[in-house]
Amino acid sequence: MKKKIELTEILDNAYINYCPIYLYFLESFEVTGFISNDINELYDNKFFECVLS
């Protein structure tokens, strides 16, 4: 299930203004694709290695 996260959960409120706006839209990355047959997704996603290591 994809989750969204508020920056305030990660950061002390005092630091929130230092964050560029794109960081306000964080979404959890689903790793279930690894066991799917979608080879394109497997190759296309740079985050797999990070998750696996």
Partner 1 sequence: MILLLSEDGDKITDIVVDWLNYYKSDFLVLKSKNLYNSIPTNIKVSDKLEINDFFSNINIAWCRRWSIDNYENINKDIKVNIISELNHFSSIFFESLKNIEWINHPNFTKIKKIDQLLIAKKSGLNIPDTIITNNRIELQDFCNNKGRIITKPIESSSEIIFDNDLYVSYTNRLDDTIIKKLPEYFAPSLFQEEVNKEFEIRVFYFNEMIYSMAIFSQLDSKTLIDHKKYNKEKPNRKVAYNIPKFLRRSIVKFMKKSNLQTGVIDIVKSKNGKFYFLEVNPVGQFNDISINCNYNLEKIIAEYLIEKDEKKNRVN
Q: Which residues here bind partner 1, judged by CB under 8 A?
A: 3, 5, 9-10, 17-23, 25-33, 36, 38-41, 43-47, 49-51
Token pair recorded at residue 11:
């950061």
Closest CA to 46 of 26, 29, 28, 22: 29
How many angstroms separate the first and last alpha carbons of the chain? 22
Q: Which is nearer to partner 1, 3 or 14 (CB)?
A: 3
- Nearest distance, CB of residue 1 and partner 1, angstroms: 11
Q: How far is the CB of 15 from partner 1 (least distance, A)?
A: 10
